[in-house]
Structure 1
Amino acid sequence: MFRLGAAQVARAQGARNYATLREIEMRLKSIKNIEKITNTMKIVASTRLNKAQRAMAASRVFNESDAEFYANAEPETPEADKTLLIVVSSDKGLCGSIHSQVAKAARRRSEELKGAVDIVTIGDKVKQQLLRTHGDKVKLAFNGVGKEAPNFYEVSLIADEINKLGKYENTEVLYNKFVSGVAFEPTTFGLVGAEAIEKAPGLSKYELESEDTSEVFAEFSLANSILTAQAEGYASEISARRNAMDNASKNAGDMINSYSILYNRTRQAVITNELVDIITGASSLD
C-alpha cells in the first residue's frame, strides 16, 4: 500500500489551507462590498425620507378636506353588490414586508366581502402576489409607480382609467399608513359613489353650481384618496427600506468580524504549516 510521508502530508494540508484561505479572502471581500452597497442605500433612503414625509403631509390636507365634506354631508353607504378594492403599493423591493402586509390585508378584505369584489392594483409587487390567489378578481393593474413622491397629475390619470371600469357604489382604497419611522399598518379609505353623495341629507349645506357636482366630487375624491394612499405608502416604503438596509449593514459588519477572525486564524495555520515544512526539511539535511 502506498503511504505518504510526513512532509508530503504537511504539503497536502498546506495546499488545502491555501485554498481555504483564498476562499475566505474572497468571501470577506464580497461581504465588504455588500456592506458598502447597503450603507449607500441606507443613506439614500434617509435623504429621501424627509422629502417623502413632506409629500405625505401635503397629501393629508386633501384627504382631511374630503373627510370634512363627508362628515357634513353625511352620505349613507349603500349596500353594494360588488366593492371596488384599490390596493396601493409600488414596483420596488428591498423594503421588508411592506408589500406582503398590504397583500395579506387585501386577501382578508376579499374574504370579508365574500368574494364580491373587483381589485385594482397599483404597483407590480402587490399585483404579483394577488395574481397568485385572486387572479380572477384583478381587473386593472398599474406599474411604473413609487419611484418618486406621487403627484396629482399622475394620480388623476390613474383615477381616470379606474373610472372606465364602471360605477361602483362602494370603493375602498387599501394602503400602508405611515405610523412612525419604524412602523406602518395597512389601512383603508372608504369612498361612496355619486348617487350616494347626491342623496346625502347634509348636501343642502353647500351651494351647488351644477347638477353633476356630485359626480365631479366623487371622481375628485377618488383621485385625492389615491394620492394620499400613494404618499403614505411611499413614506412607509422609504422608511422600511432604510431600516432594512440598516439591519443588513449591521449583519454584514458582524459577518466581516467573524470572517476576519477566521481569516487570521487560517493564515496563522498556513504559516505554521510552512514553518513545519522548513524545519522538517532542514532536519532531514543534517
Structure 2
Amino acid sequence: MASLKALKIRIGSVKSTQKITKALNMVAASKLRRAQQNATAARPYSERMTDVVASLASRITPGPQSPKLLAGTGKDDTHLIIVATSDRGLAGAFNSNIVRAARRKADDLIAQGKTVLFYIVGRKGRPVIQRLYGRSIIAQYDTSEMKNPTYADAQRIAKDIVDRYATDGIDVVHLAYANFRSTLVQEPTVEQIIPVAPRRPSDEAAEPVAAHKAAAPAAVEYEPDEEEILADLLPRNIAVQVYRALLENQAGFYGSQMTAMDNATRNAGDMINRLSIQYNRTRQAVITTELIEIISGAEAL
C-alpha cells in the first residue's frame, strides 16, 4: 500500500498536469476559431481553381508540347507524396492519422511496382516515414517558425515541388493532409496535384450544372497567350492547393488538440478523485491502527 506522503505527492503532480492540460485546451480553443475561419474562407477559391484547371486538363491532348504540370510526363513510374503534418504534438492521433493515410497510399503504389518518394512538411511526419521507408525522403520543409501559414509559405513549398518535378524524374505528385470537418473529425486526405486529374464522370454526375458546362463543346480561348497563361496558372494552382492544406491542417490541429486536452483534463480530474479516496482510506487506516495500539497498550497496563 502506498504511503500517505507518496499519495500526497502524486495528487499534487496530477493537479499540476491538470492545470497544464486545461491551459492548453483554452489556448487551442482561442486559436481554433480564427484557424477555422481561414480554412473555410480558402475552400471556395481552392475548389474553383481545381475545377478550372481540371476542365483544362480534360480538353487537352497529351503530347510533347503539352505543359507537364497539366498533362504529366506520359509515365506513371515515380510518385512523390507530400506529407503535411504539424510541428507539435499533444493533439491526439492528428499527425499519426495523416502519416497512416500517406503510408497506405505508398504501400498501394509500391505493391504496383512504383517508386515512391516523400517530401515532408512539418516535423511530426518524418520519424515514422524515415523508419519505414529509409532514404525515400528527398526533402523536408521546415515549418517550425511558421506560426500562421501564409500564401508566401505555400508558394515557396510549391516552387520547390515544381522544380523537383522538372528535374528529379518525378511523374506524379500527391498531397497528404487532414481535411478539417469539426473539432472531433479531421479527415486524412491524399490528393493528386500533379498532373492535374481531369474531371471524372462521377464528379460531373454529382454536379448537374458543372456537368452541363463540362459537356459543352465550346473551345477554350486564351488571352493574351496560352503559354503565358498556363505558365502562371499551373504553378499558382499548386501553391493554392498547398496553402489550403496548410490552413486545413492548422484548423484540424487546434481542433484535435482542444479535444485531446479536454479529455486529458477530465481524466486527470478522475485520477485525482480516485487518489483522494485512496489517500483518505489509507489515512483512516493509519489512524485506526494507532488507536488500536493505544487501546491495547492501555489495557496491558
- What's the TM-score, normalizing by structure 1? 0.83
Report what 2:181 is aligned to. 179
Query: Is contact 1:28–1:260 with CA below 8 Å preserved after alignment?
Result: yes
2:215 corresponds to 1:215: no
Alignment of 1:1-286 (within 5 A): 20-75=3-58, 78=72, 79-114=75-110, 115-145=114-144, 148-167=147-166, 168-193=170-195, 204-209=220-225, 211-284=227-300, 286=301
Contact persistence 1:72–1:203 (CA under 8 A): no
Between structure 1 and structure 2, the one with the greater Rg is 1
Pair 156,68 (structure 1): closer, same or farther in 2 beyond 3 Å: same
Q: Is the contact between residue 91 and residue 146 of structure 1 (CA under 8 Å) also seen in structure 2?
A: no
> Residue type of the partner of 2:159?
D
Match of 2:209 in 1: none
Distance 1:238 1:203 in 2: 45
Q: How many residues align?
A: 263
Distance 2:224 2:83 in 1: 32
Gaps of 5+ in 1: 1-16
Instruction: Look up the equivalent residue of 2:136 and give its one-letter code.
Output: K
Please report the TM-score for the alignment, with normalisation by the length of structure 2: 0.79
Amino acid of the structure 2 residue aligned with 1:95: A
| 2:102 and 2:190 in contact (8 A); partners too | no
* Aligned-residue offset at 1:211: 2.5
Q: 1:93, CA displacement in angstroms?
A: 0.6
AA partner of residue 108 (structure 1)? R
Separation (CA, whole Å) in 1 of partners of 2:3 and 2:232: 70
8 Å contact kept, 1:94–1:241: yes
Root-mean-square deviation (CA), in Å? Answer: 2.4
Aligned-partner Cα distance in 1 for 2:77–2:297: 91
Please say if residues 84 and 170 of structure 1, whose CA atoms lie closer than 8 Å, have aligned partners that are also in contact. Answer: yes
Please say if residues 165 and 171 of structure 2, whose CA atoms lie closer than 8 Å, have aligned partners that are also in contact: no
SS of residue matched to 2:266: helix
- Provide, for residues 2-42 of structure 1, a one-character-per-residue CA deviation record: whole Å limited to 9, x for no partner: xxxxxxxxxxxxxxx8x701111111111111111111111
Shift of residue 219 of structure 1?
1.5
More displaced, 52-61 or 30-39?
52-61
In terms of mean alpha carbon deviation, does 175-184 or 211-220 score higher? 211-220
Identity of aligned residues (%): 32
2:53, 2:234 within 8 Å by CA — same for their partners in 1? no
- Displacement after TM superposition at 1:223 (Å): 1.0
Name the amino acid aligned to 1:67.
Answer: T
Unpaired runs of 5+ in structure 2?
A: 61-70, 199-216
